Each structure stands twice: as C-alpha cells, then as structure tokens.
Homo-oligomer: A and B are copies of this chain.
C-alpha cells in the first residue's frame, strides 16, 4: 500500500518543521537556534576535533551549509579553530569555553523536553519508527549515490 508510505512522507515533512520550530523555542533564550545547536552538538560529540567538511558529512548536510553556521558560531566566540597537523587549510573545529557552557545549557533544556515528547509512546513503537525511517533514508541514499556494485539497479543517471 503506497498510501501509507505517502502519509509517512508527508508526516515526516510536518514533523521536521515542528521539530525545528520547537528546537528554536527551546534554545532561543540562550542565543541559539536549532541549526546552531545541532552544529555545536556535532562538534562536541565527535571523539576528536574534526574539520568542517567532516562534521558536515557526519550530519548529512552539505559542506557549505555547515561551514557558514560554523563561521557564524566562530564569529560569536562559541567555536574556535585548532591547527590541523595533517592539513594546513582544514583547521579543526572545537568548542570554546563559552561554547561548551552554552551547549551544556542547551542539553540541560533538551533532557526534560525529550522526556516529555517520549512520554506515553511505546518504546518499541519508537524503535520501529526509527527503523522504518532509517530504511527509507538508506534506500533514498542508495538511489542518489549508486556505487559500482549496485549501479545495475539504476535506470539512467544523466
């Protein structure tokens, strides 16, 4: 039944919009937005400091989109660049002291917020939803960037 998949697609668009709006509300008081918060998180969560292009790949966004946000965060003093011994241009993004403080505050706000969102929903249903969304996304990514060993699936890619 493609009707249910179509419904899932539309619901994904809507939830995405509501999540962005809710995230903005959640961290606006500390000078953040959903996008900046996510970038701070991607920098903080990396096991080692990474260049911006790496962070973008981890986030599934374009290099340039993340670069601009990182540059804004750097201009605001939340992110700093450390020298990269392996590459003269690709500096490593790290959180500054104030960046860590702001991110910690965002995380403190996030915890009860996410708990409230999850309350009343079966954990097994959430896991199922994650699994379905991931399956669909991986199918889309496979169609977008066909590798040699699966290219026979494609019809034509100008």
Which A residues are within 8 Å of any B CB, using their own CB? 1-2, 4-9, 11-19, 21-22, 25, 38, 60-61, 111, 114-118, 120-121, 123, 125-137, 139-141, 143-144
The residues of B that contact A111 with a CB separation of less than 8 Å are: 2
Give the shortest distance, in Å, between A5 (CB) and chain B (any CB).
Answer: 4
Question: How many angstroms from the CA of A141 to the CA of B14 in the assembled complex?
Answer: 10
Let me know if A19 and B13 touch, CB within 8 A: yes
Most chain B CB atoms below 10 A, which of A4, A111, A136, A140: A140
Do A117 and B140 form a contact, CB below 8 Å, given A4-B123, A12-B19, A14-B60?
Answer: yes
Let me know if A144 and B18 touch, CB within 8 A: yes
Do A16 and B12 form a contact, CB below 8 Å, given A125-B132, A133-B129, A136-B121?
Answer: yes
In the complex formed, the residue of B with least CB distance to A28 is B158
A129 contacts which of B19, B117, B129 (Cβ < 8 Å)? B129
Main secondary structure of the interface of A (DSSP, over half): helix
In the complex formed, the residue of B with least CB distance to A41 is B10
The 15 sampled A-B contact pairs (Cβ below 8 Å) are A2-B114, A2-B115, A4-B130, A5-B121, A5-B126, A8-B126, A11-B130, A14-B60, A15-B136, A15-B137, A15-B140, A21-B140, A22-B144, A117-B140, A121-B136
Let me know if B15 and A12 touch, CB within 8 A: yes
